[in-house]
Structure 1
Amino acid sequence: MDSGTEPVAMIRMVFGRGPTAFVALAAALLAWTVVRDRRARLVLLAAPVAALGLFGAPGAFDLLNEVGEADAIAWRMLWVMPVPAMVGLILTARRSGFGAAPVVLPAVVLAVVLVAGTPITSSANRGTEIVWPPAVDLPRPEVDAARVLVDLALERRVANGVLVAGPVDVDFAVSVLSTEVKTTNPRSAYLRGRHVDASFGAEHRRVLSHALTYGYAEWGADAVADALQSLRPDVVCSGSATGGIEVETVLAEVGYQIVAETEVCRLWVSPG
């Protein structure tokens, strides 16, 4: 799909795969059958129909993507469904001729989930890992560069705040680590959409972010220079791992000076 977001992928992200996904989906679709209250039945019936039918319809994410990059929000609507409660309703409902059902069925399903499911602490759970002391879930070693970038930026604090620029992973880490230091590109998806106006300088942000991430001027050295002069970031992190001679030449010509170096980038400060 044009939006890059497949409905089936979003369903798998929320419900999982295998037996555990079957339990969750079956409960979401059938919970209304075990409730006597008419209004509750309607709600439990409408919720999965709306969430799965509307947002999972062919082309739905494409349409939302066209009107404002909303596909990233739309798939989260699946979380609105009270799936745990639905599972509980299905498993604990009394069934004629099987009085032990409210006890036996939950025990059986629990056993299946424990055997076939993915533990929340497993690395198979989207790369989960247990660390001590607790740490933020940010890309490494980019997060280390982001910390140095934030500290350096705060030293140069000005009245209008501090703006920094760097490779996309470093920019993202900065946006999580600090509310005082702003980045030119916290997330690429935010550079498009109906909220973006001319004053935001989205094109300059995109040009500079690409250059610092990949180490070359995709749209020409002049475009990078224009972006630097327009956005005027106080501190710049140029990716040393990608070489970046062309980009660093532009930085030097604009007046930026190297003040430090980390594992993933060199840090430049603005002139004056």
Structure 2
Amino acid sequence: MRKRTLWAWGTAIVCFVVLMIVTPVIPQDEAYHDFADHRDFFGIPNALNVISNFPFLVVGIAGLILCHYKNYFRFSLPGELWGWTVFYIGVAAVGIGSSYYHLHPDDARLVWDRLPMTIAFTSIIAIFIIERVDVWKGTLSIAPLLLAGVLSILFFDDLRPYAIIQFVPCIAIPLMAILLPPMYTHSSYWLWAAAFYLLAKIEEAEDKQIYNLTHNIVSGHTLKHLCAAMVPVFLTIMLAKREIDEERVSLLVIWKISWYRFKEERNKQDGIDCTYTSVSVEEES
């Protein structure tokens, strides 16, 4: 097992190095700071892009309180409390850092927008390793993953490391949620969270188009903040509802079973037997 772990880490490092060598540098585009909605309300510059970060702060603080309030989330594995604590710290910090950035968007402030997000992303990966791969490896991975996230921000003139830190969890987490047997129930909430994050990225990319389509009422970036805030909301609901899954059946297996049952029901309906009766007609004399 230890040799396999070393091979996995070694392969990941080699892939990262190769990727950095064969791909071109991705510089920070100055046009990134030019968001569609520049309106001021109540003396707040770029008001909606600033205020729409408030849900992150609320959910982050609420999650932190519930993590440490009489084991409300019923954590049963070593390292879970640390992983989720770091996650909710990252979520709350997104509310502060992103608001600070959007008050006056520029390169210097962008660091404080992205740093909390990397904390949330990397802690989620560690949590998944704890729950579905190995408890101790997941716990030990919290610090290295956080360090990798912080270092990716320091490469400000090259967005490749940050892109890897941001997008690898977007692919790995849904796949792990579907394929790996869960420790707890309600694993489908991971997929809901992933779906809202994907929607948030689409809204971010279509910032100006959405602003025009809504007749300058709301921009795509504002909607992006609100949809992204639904990610910790769904995960918090999951933590509150879940229980230990004794069967530990992956979502993929559950879906296969549901599909087979659906097909069986369809076959039963299609195979309804029809009975016929003969009617004798006597001729009148």
For normalisation by structure 1, the TM-score amounts to 0.23
Structure number with the bigger relative contact order (C-alpha 8 A, sep ≥ 6) is: 2
TM-score by length of 2: 0.23
Greater share of strand residues, 1 or 2?
1
Structure with the higher fraction of residues in helix conformation: 2
